[in-house]
Amino acid sequence: MGRRRSPDRAVAAEERFRLLRVQRFSSDTEKALWHGRSRNTRVAKVLVYMAAIRMPDRPGLPLTPNPSVTCKGAEQQFFSASGENQAAHLLPGQILIDNTYPWLFLQGEPARRLQNEFAYVDPIHANYNAADRVAERNGMVDTFAAACRAVLTSAGEAEIDVSNAYHRVWVPGALAAIAAAEHELRSEPLPPPLVYGTSPEDYGMILNLEERSEAMNDEDTWNNFEQLSMLDYYRAAFDELPTEIEPRAIVAALNAMVN
């Protein structure tokens, strides 16, 4: 894989300082939830841009009546991570409309901002990125493309079409991808589940602590266990609705693009 480029040097510098130089004191649980919620927020923002692209009189490339929407691997990012961390993209991949970058259907500031959406990354432990990849290949990439296409090919009020694409396409599809990813990981080596005593002399005690600790010492087993835990937090991230998907926020964002 070649080096991914940064589309915007100013934003790249800001993101590098915010996420690499500012020390975080959050737990792994908070990081996993933040990563999942940030992905949902970025997806919601891109869906709003899809509504802008379908506007009849907007500048940019013309949109075909029945556009093909695909999602491939990321091509750009604002910065790289080091050590055990990796720069995990927030969006599941790079959207293409009729094999064309989506920002080419817009012009000016909206085009720049949409391009930037595909470069945002989170410098987190490699296992977060690994959990992302398992979910992506189990349907999350295709779901992202399907949600974008749902907005582009709908003809209702923008705020309704964007909301429907998020709630009816992205949410169930992404959750199904997470469940499929968990199923895949459960076929890999994992530590044995905790066994608790039930008799009066050992009630509540962990009876297989030594066996479980020994399994955890295996790096592959530990990585599988940690990735499985992260997927559970990614699911929990859907409990919080992004403000960007609220009707007033969608209308305001679209108005800002055209005014």
Q: Give 12's pLDDT tier (boundaries 50, 70, 90).
A: low
* pTM across the whole model: 0.85
Q: Which residues pair with 72 in a beta bridge?
A: 94
The domain tally of the chain equals 1
Reply yes or no on whether the pLDDT at 181 is more than 90. Answer: yes
Q: Is residue 75 part of a domain?
A: yes
Q: Residue 237 is encoded by which pair of tokens?
A: 């991230």
Q: Is residue 203 part of a domain?
A: no
Q: Is residue 208 part of a domain?
A: no
Q: Is residue 49 part of a domain?
A: yes
Tens-place pLDDT, residues 204-248? 888 888 888 888 888 899 999 999 999 999 999 999 999 999 999
Are 122 and 42 in contact, with CB atoms under 8 Å apart?
no
Kindly report which listed range (63-67, 80-84, 137-141, 165-169) carries the lowest average pLDDT score.
Answer: 80-84
Give the C-alpha separation, 42 to 176, whole Å. Answer: 19
Tell me what the mean pLDDT of segment 156-162 comes to.
Answer: 97
> What percentage of the chain exceeds 70 in pLDDT?
90
Q: What is the pLDDT, as a whole number, of residue 252?
A: 96
Q: Is residue 25 part of a domain?
A: yes
**Domain, as residue range, for 52:** 9-190+229-258
DSSP state of 5: B
Q: Is residue 153 part of a domain?
A: yes
Q: What is the pLDDT, as a whole number, of residue 213?
A: 81
Q: Which residue has the tokens 């009630």?
A: 203
Torsion of CA 234, 239, 240, 241, to 10 degrees: 110
Q: Which residues pair with 88 in a beta bridge?
A: 122
Name every residue whose Cβ is closer than 8 Å to that of residue 163 and which is 6 or more positions away in sequence.
245, 247, 250
Q: Residue 33 is encoded by which pair of tokens?
A: 């939830």
Q: What is the pLDDT, as a whole number, of residue 21?
A: 38
Give the C-alpha separation, 43 to 245, whole Å. Answer: 10
Q: Is residue 30 part of a domain?
A: yes
190 SS3 class: coil
Reply yes or no on whether the pLDDT at 259 is more than 80. Answer: no
Q: 123 or 115: whose pLDDT is higher?
A: 115
Q: Give 199's pLDDT tier (boundaries 50, 70, 90).
A: very high
Reply yes or no on whether the pLDDT at 103 is more than 70. Answer: yes
Give the C-alpha separation, 81 to 74, whole Å. Answer: 16
For the chain, the average pLDDT equals: 89
Q: What is the pLDDT, as a whole number, of residue 175?
A: 98
Name every residue whose Cβ is closer than 8 Å to that of residue 8 and which is 6 or more positions away in sequence.
78, 112, 115, 116, 119
Tell me what the mean pLDDT of segment 102-112 comes to.
Answer: 96
Q: Residue 194 is encoded by which pair of tokens?
A: 């905790």
Q: Is residue 210 part of a domain?
A: no
Tens-place pLDDT, residues 54-74? 998 888 999 999 999 999 998
Kindly report which listed range (70-74, 108-112, 254-258) carries the lowest average pLDDT score.
Answer: 254-258
Reply yes or no on whether the pLDDT at 24 is more than 50. Answer: no
How distant, in Å, are the alpha carbons of 83, 94, 103, 190, 193 from that of 66?
45, 19, 18, 45, 50
Give the C-alpha separation, 123 to 26, whole Å. Answer: 13
